């Protein structure tokens, strides 16, 4: 089968993990801070905190920003459920902002309209979580301007987008966000098997997330209320075991050496798809001129989605659908959301298929996908 996405592990990656396995450190050792520094330096951010998943990073980000009971968090309906669940973990309420019909990211106009109405009812969001869908940045400058006007904070869910750029700057710089989140799941741009990272330029947020990712425990004497000796630690909050292991970090550090190459290969594959599919009854992904996508996904839109999807799957082409709108999931329906709440997202979902997109996809494999897609359409 040709999958929709997959990791690219080379001998250098394997050697890096083996070296860690032979060292004195398997869990918390030197590879974790080295990986954090590598990502922070690449993005130009001041602080980076590696964790065991992007879901954990989103949860920590919400907690660090003080999200709690009776607060409101808005995100996109076209995302994985973790982008919304993170607020519910904190006891907050969740709502959604419909997507832009071209980029499939959070619509700035829909956000502006929703904020105007929310201000009238006295129910503005505490945090907004724009999602860089498929690797393309949201219009963060405009979203930050609205944040300054209406007083909300921003978590960039850039799980798809490490290596991408916005206004010629790296995604993860945190110029327009309080915290940025990356994912290192195997189908993402780089992988640590499972893993995630939170980046910020705010030292207080970094310290708060670092405390909460490790049981709320500190060994930093400057943060303690008392100190009994070199063995001493204090639990200062109710935290979690969200730490990344040295084995994972060693893999991530090795993968970072090829990040730019991965992105260039993804762009070449996307360009080929766009050219080869131009005469078919397909909507290929539109790219905003302010962005340079990481191309985690290559989502197309077609009218007879289920038929095409089934034909491609039966031919061992592992297409997928990203995403089922979060507000249509049974759990969120039980919270009061319903079909029709976010029509642009729902219309997108009815037509969306993600084609295979990963750096080791060969031209021969890509030609097979294109040929079978053509046959499935006619």
List the one residue out of 156, 87, 89, 159 whose CA is nearest residue 125: 87
Enumerate domains of the chain plus CATH numbers.
2-256 (3.40.640.10), 259-377 (3.90.1150.10)
> Is-contact 244 195, C-beta < 8 A?
yes
Q: What is the pLDDT of residue 366?
A: 98
pLDDT averaged over every residue in the chain: 97
SS3 373: helix
Q: Cα–Cα distance between 284 and 288 in angstroms, integer?
A: 13
Query: What integer is the mean pLDDT of 293-320?
Result: 97
What pLDDT, in 10s, does the model give residues 22-81? 999 999 899 999 999 999 999 999 999 999 999 999 999 999 999 999 999 999 999 999
Query: What integer is the mean pLDDT of 207-235?
Result: 94
φ, ψ for residue 341 (rounded to 5)? -65, -35
pTM here is 0.97
What pLDDT, in 10s, does the model give residues 245-273? 999 999 999 999 999 999 999 999 999 99
Q: What is the pLDDT of residue 50?
A: 98
């Amino acid at each position: 089968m040709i999958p929709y996405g997959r990791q690219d592990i080379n001998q250098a990656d394997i050697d890096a993990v083996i070296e860690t396995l032979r060292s004195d450190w398997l869990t918390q050792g030197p590879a974790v801070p080295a990986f954090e520094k590598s990502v922070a330096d690449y993005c130009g951010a001041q602080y980076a905190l590696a964790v065991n998943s992007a879901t954990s990073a989103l949860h920590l980000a919400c907690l660090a920003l003080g999200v709690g009971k009776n607060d409101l968090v808005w995100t996109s309906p076209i995302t994985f459920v973790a982008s919304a669940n993170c607020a519910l973990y904190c006891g907050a309420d969740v709502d959604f902002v419909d997507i832009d019909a071209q980029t499939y990211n959070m619509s700035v106009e829909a956000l502006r309209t929703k904020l105007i109405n929310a201000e009238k009812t006295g129910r503005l969001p505490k945090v907004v979580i724009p999602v860089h869908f498929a690797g393309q940045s949201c219009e963060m400058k405009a979203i930050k301007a609205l944040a300054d006007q209406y007083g909300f904070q921003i978590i960039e869910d850039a799980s798809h987008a490490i290596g991408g750029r916005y206004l010629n700057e790296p995604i993860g710089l945190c110029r327009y966000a309080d915290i940025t989140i990356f994912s290192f799941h195997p189908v993402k741009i780089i992988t640590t098997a499972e893993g995630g990272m939170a980046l910020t330029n705010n030292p207080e947020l970094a310290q708060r997330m670092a405390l909460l990712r490790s049981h709320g425990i500190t060994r930093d004497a400057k943060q303690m209320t008392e100190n009994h000796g070199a063995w001493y630690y204090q639990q200062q909050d109710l935290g979690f075991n969200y730490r990344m292991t040295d084995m994972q970090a060693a893999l991530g550090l090795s993968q970072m050496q090829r990040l730019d190459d991965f992105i260039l290969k993804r762009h070449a594959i996307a360009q080929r798809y766009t050219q080869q599919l131009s005469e078919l009854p397909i909507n290929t992904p539109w790219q905003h001129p302010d962005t340079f996508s990481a191309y985690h996904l290559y989502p197309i839109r077609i009218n007879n989605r289920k038929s095409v999807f089934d034909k491609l799957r039966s031919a061992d082409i592992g297409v997928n659908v990203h995403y089922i709108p979060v507000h249509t999931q049974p759990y969120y329906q039980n919270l009061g959301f319903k079909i029709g709440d976010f029509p642009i997202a729902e219309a997108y979902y009815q037509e969306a298929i993600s084609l295979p997109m990963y750096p080791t996809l060969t031209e021969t494999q890509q030609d097979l996908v294109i040929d079978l897609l053509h046959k499935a359409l006619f």
